[in-house]
Amino acid sequence: MAEYGVGGGLNTFVPTFSAATGQIQIEFTRSVNRFPITQYAQIVPVQQQSGYYLRIDEQETARVVNTQDLQWPLGEDRPTGINSDFEFNQFTTQRFQTSFHIPQETARQAQWDIVASHARIAAAKMMTHRSLRMATQLTTSSNYNTSGGSQNYYAAATDLVTGVNITSADGVQQIIRAAIERIVQNTVGAVSPKDILLIVNPTTARILATSEGVRDYVKNYPAAFSFLKGDDTFAAYGLPQTLFGLGGVVVDDTVRVTSRKGATDARSFLYGTASAPGMVFVSRPGGLIGNEGPSFSTATIFAYEDMTVETMDDPWNRRVRGSVTDNSATVLTAALSGLYIADANS
SS3 (DSSP) at 149 = coil
Helix H or strand E segment including 122? helix 114-138
**pLDDT at 196 (0 to 100):** 95
Q: Is the dihedral of CA 246, 135, 287, 88 positive or negative?
A: positive
Please measure the distance between the N-terminal and C-terminal CA atoms of the chain and give it in whole angstroms: 80
In three-state form (DSSP H/G/I as H, E/B as E, the rest C), the secondary structure along 47-113 is: CCCEEEEEEECHHHHCCCCCHHHHCCCCCCCCCCCCCCCEEEEEEECEEEEEEEEEEHHHHHHCCCC
Contacts of 219 by beta carbon, 8 Å cutoff, 6+ apart = none
Query: What is the DSSP secondary-structure string of 206-249?
Result: HHHHTSHHHHHHHHTSTTHHHHHHT-GGGTBTTB-SS-TT-SEE
**Residues making up the chain, counted from first to last:** 346
pTM of the shown model: 0.82
Among 276, 206, 279, 218, smallest CA distance to 244 is for 218
**How are beta strands 267-269 and 255-257 bridged, if at all?**
antiparallel
CA dist., res. 208 & res. 255, Å (int): 20
Q: How far does Cα 135 stand from its chain's mean position? A: 7
On whether the CB atoms of residues 37 and 280 are closer than 8 A, the answer is no
Helix H or strand E segment including 174? helix 171-186
**pLDDT at 6 (0 to 100):** 37
**pLDDT at 26 (0 to 100):** 55
Q: Which amino acid is at 204?
A: T
Could you tell me which residues are beta bridge partners of residue 139? none
CA dist., res. 340 & res. 182, Å (int): 11
On whether the CB atoms of residues 211 and 171 are closer than 8 A, the answer is yes
Could you tell me which residues are beta bridge partners of residue 328? 94, 303
- pLDDT tens-place string over residues 258-317: 999 899 999 999 999 989 999 999 998 775 555 655 667 899 999 999 989 898 999 999
Q: What are the mean pLDDT values of the chain's consecutive 10-residue runs (346 residues total)?
A: 39 43 57 78 92 70 69 79 70 94 86 82 91 97 91 96 92 95 90 94 92 78 54 65 89 93 93 94 74 75 91 91 94 93 95
Cα→Cα distances 256→21, 133, 140, 270, 315, Å: 24, 12, 18, 7, 35
CA atoms within 13 Å, Cβ hemisphere of 304: 16
**pLDDT at 214 (0 to 100):** 81
